[in-house]
Amino acid sequence: MLLRQETAIDQEAIHAVHVECFPTDSEARLVDQLRYAGRLAVSVVAEVEGEIVGHVAFSPVTLASGETGIGLAPVTVLEAYRRQEIAARLIEAGLDACREAGFGWAVVLGDPAYYARFDFRPASEFDLIDEYGGGDAFQAMELMPDGMPMGRGLVSYAPEFAVFE
């Protein structure tokens, strides 16, 4: 398996993976719209024998103070390739790319038991809240020492996430 940043020729395959893995095409449309708007900051694919089998996307999130972090969403792997740690490897590679891009902190809305393995903690520990009322599912982590902003509060996702409202 090869993990790498997406290229222009991967866009159709990434769209297809999301359509196949989610009950609606909302996630696929979200990724397309983030890309089109220039807000797909990190996009990593998992490739097996020339086929895209998984994808993770990261896009900027902001605080009212204007400080920018990165949000993980969505991540998916084709059914035939699940339970092989591909999603975990995609997330790790994506978080590394976010660090390299200079992002100091990250957030995710997801299963706390799953995301704890990557050092995500309840965002409330950082005095962060999300605009979707995610509660314990809203988690955050520092990507770099002292990377968490001081002006904590409401974390806003890119406007393209309105597809889920």
User: Is residue 160 pLDDT above 70, yes or no?
Assistant: yes
> If 0-12 CB within 10 Å is exposed, 13-18 middle and 19+ buried, where does residue 43 land?
buried
Are 90 and 124 a contacting pair, CB within 8 Å?
no
- Binned at pLDDT 50, 70 and 90, residue 65 comes out as confident
- Report the pLDDT value the prediction gives residue 6, as an integer from 0 to 100: 97
pTM (predicted TM-score): 0.94
CA–CA distance, 137 with 109 (Å, rounded to integer): 5
165 — pLDDT class (breaks 50, 70, 90): low
The answer to whether the CB of 123 falls within 8 A of the CB of 129 is: yes
Q: What is the pLDDT of residue 151?
A: 64
Q: At 7, is the pLDDT very low, low, confident or very high (cuts 50, 70, 90)?
A: very high
Q: What is the pLDDT of residues 140-155, one digit of tens each?
A: 999 999 998 876 899 9
pLDDT on residue 113? 95
Residue 128 has a pLDDT of 94
User: Running DSSP on this structure, what letter comes out for residue 8?
Assistant: G
Q: Which of 41, 44, 112 is nearest to 77 (CA)?
A: 44
- Beta strands 129-130 and 105-109, pairing class: unpaired
In the 3-class helix/strand/coil scheme, how is 114-139 assigned residue by residue? HHHHHCCEEHHHHCCEECCCCHHHEE
Overall fold of domain 2-164: Aminopeptidase (3.40.630)
Tokens 């097996």 correspond to 48
Is the model more confident about 43 or about 133?
A: 43
Residue 40, pLDDT above cutoff 60:
yes
